[in-house]
Amino acid sequence: MTELRALLGIEHPLILGPFGGLSSTRLTAAVSDAGGLGSFGLYGYDGDRIRATEAELRALTGRPFAVNIWLPRGDEVEPNPQHTIFAQALQPFYEAVGVELPARPERYVPSLDEQLDAIWEIEPAVLSVVFGVPSAAVVAEAHGRGIRILGTATTVAEAVALAEAGVDAVVATGAEAAGHRVSFLRPAEESLVGTFALIPQVVDAVDVPVIAAGGIADRRGVAAAFALGAAGVQVGTAFLATAESAATAAHRDAIRSTAADETVLPGDERAPGSRHAQPCGAGDRGERHDRPLPDAELAHRSLPHRGGGAEPR
């Protein structure tokens, strides 16, 4: 425990999970100020937006914070003729609220290089990554600048691969975790180990500190994670329900009221910006779907997520 605190420069071994598209600078700063590690999800943020977010964070807290990026997997969807089909399907919704349909963008998300250039400039205390293993060059550059790197594993094999690549700690994220299933060695459907089965196995397999994530929402979950050998915990959903989060009131209410049987594992979601995901905070739209969604519906769900979604606050 002490090891992780010293490593990350924090007082409490508790990390606010990053929320790609839904992070709030207020919440990130609040967690860091309270002695934990606030994380901010930079999914879809270009260099300028990363620099602006850093300025906001530094104005709000003098404590260490983490930023988070998605490593490209090579299956990213670039703007293509299908975009027009999505746009046509969405046209009536835009017309209904009197908003002009946005033009087809040149790209949906900024490149990894653009994001990394900005991150090297802002030098956060911690960089966390999902959907893969950071390259040796990225690890070396981060370490050369005193930036700690956290990798995210959904299986033991992924944790080992990350540790071998030189990350400073591994976030072992069980199938309970909200957000996308960030598996990278095997398909998400084959990487659904539960948090409390995953933690002890990962602890046994790697020499770096292990941070437990997925379904931890109170002190009992924290105690259980530590009993299994975790050096820290990463909490997402429970923080989304706080006043500082960027979640809407409806989203917060849903988190507080959602019955466990409303948690869903969406099936074949391969629209741009969409990977195997648990609805944010379980049941974020208060609906279930146990069939692949039609393209137009997928587009409707995916488009707001692209480019980062909610404005940082």
Considering only 8, 57, 172, 280, the residue that binds ligand FMN (CB under 6 A) is 280
> Beta 210-213 vs 169-173: how paired, if at all?
parallel
Nearer to ligand FMN, 47 or 283 (CB): 283
In angstroms, give the least distance from the CB of 159 to ligand FMN: 15
- Chain-centre distance of CA 63, in angstroms? 21
CB of 95 to ligand FMN, least distance (A): 29
Q: Say if residues 166 and 183 touch (Cβ distance below 8 Å).
A: no
Q: Which residue's CB is nearer to ligand FMN, number 152 or number 302?
A: 152
DSSP 8-state symbol, 37: B
Is 212 in contact with 235 (CB distance < 8 Å)? no
Answer for which of 38, 41, 134, 266 binds ligand FMN (CB under 6 A) is 41
The gap from C-alpha 179 to its chain's centroid, in whole angstroms, comes to 7
Of 13, 18, 110, 209, the one binding ligand FMN by CB under 6 A: 18
Helix axes 195-205, 219-227, angle to 10 degrees: 40
- For ligand FMN, which residue of 36, 232, 281, 312 counts as binding (CB under 6 A)? 281
Residue 44 touching ligand FMN (CB under 6 A): no
Q: Which of 61, 154, 173, 191 binds ligand FMN (CB under 6 A)?
A: 173
Give the one residue of 13, 20, 209, 308 binding ligand FMN; rule: CB under 6 A.
20
Per the structure block, which two tokens stand in for 20?
Answer: 């790609």
- For residue 214, report the phi and psi dihedrals to the nearest 5 degrees: 120, 105
User: What residues numbered 68-87 form the site for ligand FMN, per CB under 6 A?
Assistant: 68
Report which of 73, 91, 103 is spatially closest to residue 181, judged by C-alpha positions.
73
24 binds ligand FMN (CB under 6 A): no
Q: Within 10 Å of residue 264's Cβ, how many Cβ atoms?
A: 17
Q: Which of 19, 40, 65, 86 binds ligand FMN (CB under 6 A)?
A: 19
Structure tokens at 224: 């259980």
CA distance 301 to 157: 32
Backbone angles phi, psi at 310, to 5 degrees: -60, 145
> How far is the C-alpha of 44 from the C-alpha of 180, rounded, in Å?
14
Interface region with ligand FMN, contact rule CB under 6 A, candidates 82-90, 112-120, 169-177, 255-263:
169-177
> Contact region for ligand FMN (CB under 6 A) — 56-64, 95-103, 171-179, 297-305?
171-179
Rank residues 89 and 244 by Cβ distance to ligand FMN and give the closer one: 244
Token pair 């050998």 in the structure block, residue? 229
275-to-188, 193, 200 alpha-carbon distances in Å: 9, 18, 27
Q: Cβ closer to ligand FMN: 85 or 197? A: 197
Site residues for ligand FMN, 207-226, by CB under 6 A, read: 213-216
**Placement of tokens 């670039």 in the chain:** 78
Of residues 97-156, those binding ligand FMN (CB under 6 A): 128, 130, 152
Residues at the site binding ligand FMN, with contacts judged by CB under 6 A: 17-20, 22, 41, 43, 68, 128, 130, 152, 173, 176-179, 213-216, 234-237, 240, 280-281
